[in-house]
């Protein structure tokens, strides 16, 4: 569950930001609709009403759906059409999304409808906003979407709740929406013309998962830079590789940014070495951190750019242009932009784990360092961190299968009327799994780095990594005797996910490193 705060995020369909989504979903801020947006919503709804009253033939309003779009629906049946649509399409399967995803879906769908292109009554939007503000979150199965025509199956489970059917989360438990509405004296809606279609014909599920993926990925990537810095100290890495002149010569800003973060983390370290002091240069997994992590940051920026468009997009069909009295059928529900972005995100984050696992190998392999074999307190009798590298390798290998692009697949549906689909929601779900795996690999690297610098002498760490070492040791104790480390790794991963903020002092790792207070030139 999210904490509840009294501040409000105001929706107008055009200016919702990722930061505002974070505040609503993670901080529990309430939601309102800007007054001027209601005029567009009412005008759009009036256009739909006129179509029904005038017996016009318009897709989704007075016709069936998909391949059944040539079946005319009489005006006395349009409400039944919308109800039947939701019930028939609510066929999602598998484990449900968690409440944060469900809350994000509600927020994004409300914001899309506020744009005034969907033809729904203001009451529909107000109902979604009420669900958000009352913390009533629909139970939405994860599987069943093709990503065009939008996220039909999962969004239908959201729409069921609007109708007073389906299930919701209540204080961490799943209960029927009917029971909750009775307790809170909330009256569900009878959907009118086009309203069912407007609720489910969009990309809000893949986009909601995508937003949370990005926010998680950015934090994980910052943590990766900090954890890699401690590994560099544990291996007495050559700091010259992070000289700004090298990265300026290539020209990628994200690469320069990562190098700058590393210099910030390693400033005043007594464990890093200079070129030729112990070795001329390090292996790629150390020397090329700015190049590899920087490329992932480029991808994160690409994904952020696409999400900032999609969270304010009109993605249902048809769209109502009330000012011209037009209703036009198109394909904005197609999830291809999100599908490609999520596939790209999964690939880029998988590389974070790939290079992290190679650093883990360098920390534990006695042929690659001068540390005790496998960081063991008694090599031979005790195996130390030997099998932790196995676990990391397994997660990395699993990521390679999860990073296979979902968007390259398409299966025709609706009797070949919908003959190309995006699979964007599958890609978004896979990206979630990849990010979770990356976090666990980084937790293993952190575990090993803590042990390595303990052998080197924690008092020789840089101020930033020294503070991180102290905090890390509060989470897991030293490996001075073989023990089951599964709980250690899960605890570190959960700490990285839920508690540790690399943007706070003294780490101060921000998306914009120019804000760092102390960075070596």
Are the CB atoms for 289 and 231 separated by under 8 Å?
no
Are the CB atoms for 345 and 299 separated by under 8 Å?
yes
Give the whole-angstrom CA distance, residue 64 versus residue 70.
Answer: 7
Q: What is residue 327's three-state secondary structure?
A: strand
Give the whole-angstrom CA distance, residue 415 versus residue 67.
Answer: 6
Question: Which residues, other chains included, contact 484 with Cβ-Cβ below 8 Å and sequence gap of 6+?
Answer: none
DSSP string, 234-269: HTT-BGGGG-HHHHHHH--HHHHHHHHHHHHHHTT-
What Å distances lie between residue 108 and 8, 168, 200, 296, 343, CA to CA?
A: 15, 18, 12, 26, 21
* CB neighbour class for 472 (10 Å; exposed up to 12, middle 13-18, buried from 19): buried
- Alpha helical stretches, state H, 64-194: 78-89, 99-114, 122-133, 152-162, 177-184
Choose the catalytic residue: 59, 169, 469, 507.
59
Per the annotation, the verdict on 59 as an active-site residue is yes
Give the whole-angstrom CA distance, residue 48 versus residue 316.
Answer: 14
3-state SS string for 368-435: CCCCCHHHCCCECCECCCHHHHHHHHHHHHHHHHHCCCHHHCCCCECCCCECCCCCHHHHHHHHHHHH
What Å distances lie between residue 137 and 56, 162, 194, 275, 408, CA to CA?
A: 36, 11, 23, 56, 32
- Beta-bridged to residue 175, according to DSSP, are 168
Question: Which residues, other chains included, contact 370 with Cβ-Cβ below 8 Å and sequence gap of 6+?
Answer: none
Give the whole-angstrom CA distance, residue 514 versus residue 3.
Answer: 32
Question: What crossing angle do the helices spanning 99-114 and 37-53 adopt, rounded to 10°?
Answer: 70
Closest to 317 measured CA to CA, from 333, 301, 305, 304: 333
Q: Where are the beta strands (DSSP E) in 267-400?
A: 319-321, 326-328
Are the CB atoms for 317 and 330 separated by under 8 Å?
yes
Q: Which residues are catalytically annotated?
A: 59
């Amino acid at each position: 569950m999210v904490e509840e705060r009294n501040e409000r995020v105001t929706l107008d369909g055009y200016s919702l930001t990722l930061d505002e989504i974070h505040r609503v979903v993670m901080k529990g801020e309430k939601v309102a609709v800007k007054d001027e947006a209601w005029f567009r919503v009412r005008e759009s709804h009036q256009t739909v009403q006129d179509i029904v009253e005038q017996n016009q033939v318009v897709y989704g309003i007075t016709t069936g759906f998909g391949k059944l779009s040539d079946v005319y629906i009489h005006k006395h049946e349009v409400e039944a059409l919308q109800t039947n649509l939701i019930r028939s399409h609510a066929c999602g399967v598998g484990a449900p999304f968690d409440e944060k995803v469900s809350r994000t879906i509600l927020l994004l769908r409300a914001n899309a409808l506020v744009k005034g292109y969907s033809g729904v009554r203001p009451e529909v939007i107000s109902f979604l906003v009420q669900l958000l503000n009352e913390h009533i979150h629909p139970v939405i199965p994860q599987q069943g979407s093709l990503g065009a025509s939008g996220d039909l199956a999962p969004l239908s489970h959201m729409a069921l709740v609007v109708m007073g059917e389906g299930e919701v989360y209540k204080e961490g438990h799943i209960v029927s929406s009917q029971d909750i509405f009775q307790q809170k004296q909330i009256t569900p809606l009878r959907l009118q013309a086009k309203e069912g279609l407007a609720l489910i014909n969009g990309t809000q599920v893949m986009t909601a998962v995508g937003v949370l993926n990005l926010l998680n990925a950015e934090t994980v990537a910052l943590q990766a830079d900090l954890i890699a810095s401690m590994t560099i100290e544990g291996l007495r890495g050559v700091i010259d590789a992070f000289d700004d002149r090298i990265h300026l010569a290539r020209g990628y800003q994200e690469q320069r940014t990562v190098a700058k973060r590393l210099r910030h983390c390693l400033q005043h370290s007594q464990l890093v070495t200079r070129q030729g002091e112990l070795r001329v240069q390090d292996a790629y997994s150390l020397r090329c951190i700015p190049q590899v992590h920087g490329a992932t940051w480029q991808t994160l920026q690409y994904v952020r750019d696409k999400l900032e468009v999609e969270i304010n997009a009109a993605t249902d069909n048809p769209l109502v242009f009330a000012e011209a009295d037009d209703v036009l059928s198109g394909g904005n529900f197609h999830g291809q932009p999100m599908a490609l972005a999520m596939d790209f995100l999964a690939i880029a984050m998988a590389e974070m784990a790939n290079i992290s696992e190679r650093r883990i190998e360098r920390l534990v392999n006695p042929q690659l360092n001068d540390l005790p074999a496998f960081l063991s307190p008694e090599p031979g009798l005790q195996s130390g961190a030997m099998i932790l590298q196995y676990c990391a390798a397994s997660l990395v290998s699993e990521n390679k299968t999860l990073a296979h692009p979902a968007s390259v697949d398409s299966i025709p549906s609706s009797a070949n009327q919908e003959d190309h689909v995006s699979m964007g929601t599958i890609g978004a779900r896979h990206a979630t799994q990849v990010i979770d795996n990356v976090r666990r690999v980084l937790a293993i690297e952190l575990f090993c780095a803590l042990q390595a610098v303990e052998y080197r002498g924690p008092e020789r760490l840089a101020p930033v990594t020294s503070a991180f070492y102290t905090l890390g040791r509060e989470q897991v104790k030293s490996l001075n005797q073989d023990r089951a480390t599964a709980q250690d790794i899960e605890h570190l991963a959960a700490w990285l996910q839920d508690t540790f903020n690399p943007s706070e002092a003294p780490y101060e790792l921000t998306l914009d490193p120019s804000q760092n207070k102390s960075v070596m030139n």
